[in-house]
Amino acid sequence: MASNGQHRVHVGALRQRLGQRLDVEIEQDVPGLEVIASRTTEEPVVGTLTIESIERGVSVTGVLDVPWMADCRRCLEPVRGTERAVVDEIFQVGAEPGGDLIPFDGETVVLDQVVHDTALAALPLSPLCEPDCAGPDPDRYRPGLGERPVDPDESTEAAIDPRWAALQDLELDE
């Protein structure tokens, strides 16, 4: 059963010797996280994080698997997946709030916010159901950036930017 938070790890004893490590299994629900059209599922985020004693704090490293669902950006069919996200954080006694280091009391590390933030950052911005998804009407719309309707009378030759058209008249000797 997944936890809905409160991954508190007492690290006081761990911090007595530099380099000591502790592995922590994570299974945490993070429902409702959303980025553009991607969102977390009801399945928990799972993984293993290693807490290591360093000078003035602890480092937290590891990998989390984040299940997600979305609509394909081309055909709008539902798509699901799991993103593997890397965690690499440092909790430091006396760290300034809002900086790169996470402040803590030197005794207890709370991993909930790290799991939450990692899951949110792992959500794909524009997922596809298949890498070569052609979309709902591949005969009319070309996949790729700047998708636009295809005019059957239009030449398939790339248009030349008028600012560079004069270069076609140059005769270059080899």
Distance between CA atoms of 96 and 42, rounded to whole angstroms?
34
Q: Token pair of 73, please? A: 């950006």
Q: Which of 117, 45, 115 is nearest to 83 (CA)?
A: 45
Q: Token pair of 96, please? A: 């300034």
Q: Identify the top-confidence range among 2-6, 103-107, 133-137, 144-148.
A: 103-107
Yes or no: say if 63 and 48 are a contact pair by the CB < 8 Å rule.
yes
**152: burial class by Cβ within 10 Å (0-12, 13-18, 19+)?**
exposed
Question: Furthest-apart CA pair in the chain: how many Å?
Answer: 78
**Each residue of 58-93: pLDDT tens digit?**
999 999 999 999 999 888 899 999 999 999 999 999
14, pLDDT greater than 60: yes
Q: Where are the domains of the chain?
A: 8-122
5, pLDDT greater than 80: no
User: What Cα–Cα distance (Å) separates residue 80 from each residue in 42, 73, 132?
Assistant: 12, 13, 16
Cα three-residue angle 35-132-46, rounded to 5 degrees: 40
